């Protein structure tokens, strides 16, 4: 599919590595919670996110605003959990992150008159502006509801249930929603892939002709 083009470039590789690191960090959070409790798990999470941002600096890049927000949330809410002995603070962290992402997407669209999702992906999957608008607002609504669901579980269920939801439930819902979006726009994705494949074949043909 069209994602092969994204994965092959540097930005795509960084995205894959980031996703893999987040999976490892989530599993580390779960294991440390099972072995040492929520305060140990919170320490592991704080250390893991801090190491991620430190690695970004070491590799010669600058953290994005989203990465700064993620670090600030985990440090502030994690420290509150550790100092006050209340797990509810760290349970708020996913909600804060999801809602800030939703606010950032909506704010960029309303005040800067830009669709941030289209800005990133339209070069890979060209679609009509109206379609990108639908994609944007569906993601905003989904992130808002996901943040609310996190609070619903945090306030009404056990800490064990919340940890399992945080590690498995929320990522699973995000993956399902993303898959639904892909299925919904599958014709546009197929068209983009055919265009990419044709352009690649033509470039290879021209290169071969030039070498003769």
Domain borders along the chain are 14-88, 90-200
What pLDDT, on the 0 to 100 scale, is given for residue 209?
57
Q: Is the pLDDT of residue 173 over 50?
A: yes
Torsion sign (Cα): 86, 99, 71, 158: positive
Q: The tokens of 145 are what?
A: 């509801």
Residue 196: per-residue pLDDT: 65
Secondary-structure breakdown of the chain: helix, strand, coil percentages, each rounded to the nearest 5? 85, 0, 15
Q: What is the mean pLDDT of residues 6-34?
A: 78
User: Residue 169 is encoded by which pair of tokens?
Assistant: 């439930």
Q: What are phi and psi of 40, to 5 degrees?
A: -65, -45
pTM (two decimals): 0.84
DSSP secondary structure letter of residue 113? -
Over residues 90-109, mean pLDDT: 95
Tell me the pLDDT of the chain averaged across its residues. 87
């Amino acid at each position: 599919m069209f994602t092969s083009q994204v994965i092959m470039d540097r930005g795509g590789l960084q995205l894959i590595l980031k996703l893999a690191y987040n999976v490892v960090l989530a599993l580390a959070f779960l294991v440390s919670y099972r072995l040492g409790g929520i305060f140990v798990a919170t320490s592991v999470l704080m250390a893991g996110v801090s190491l991620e941002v430190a690695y970004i600096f070491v590799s010669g890049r600058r953290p994005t605003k989203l990465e700064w927000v993620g670090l600030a949330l985990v440090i502030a809410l994690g420290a509150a959990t550790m100092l006050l002995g209340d797990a509810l603070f760290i349970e708020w962290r996913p909600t804060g992150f999801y809602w800030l992402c939703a606010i950032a997407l909506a704010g960029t669209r309303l005040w800067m008159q830009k669709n941030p999702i289209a800005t990133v992906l339209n070069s890979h999957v060209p679609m009509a502006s109206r379609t990108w608008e639908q994609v944007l607002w569906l993601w905003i609504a989904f992130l808002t509801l996901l943040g609310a669901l996190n609070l619903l579980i945090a306030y009404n269920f056990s800490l064990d249930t919340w940890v399992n939801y945080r590690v498995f439930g929320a990522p699973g819902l995000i993956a399902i929603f993303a898959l639904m979006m892909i299925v919904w726009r599958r014709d546009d994705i197929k068209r983009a892939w055919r265009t990419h494949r044709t352009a690649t074949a033509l470039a290879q043909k021209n290169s071969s002709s030039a070498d003769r």
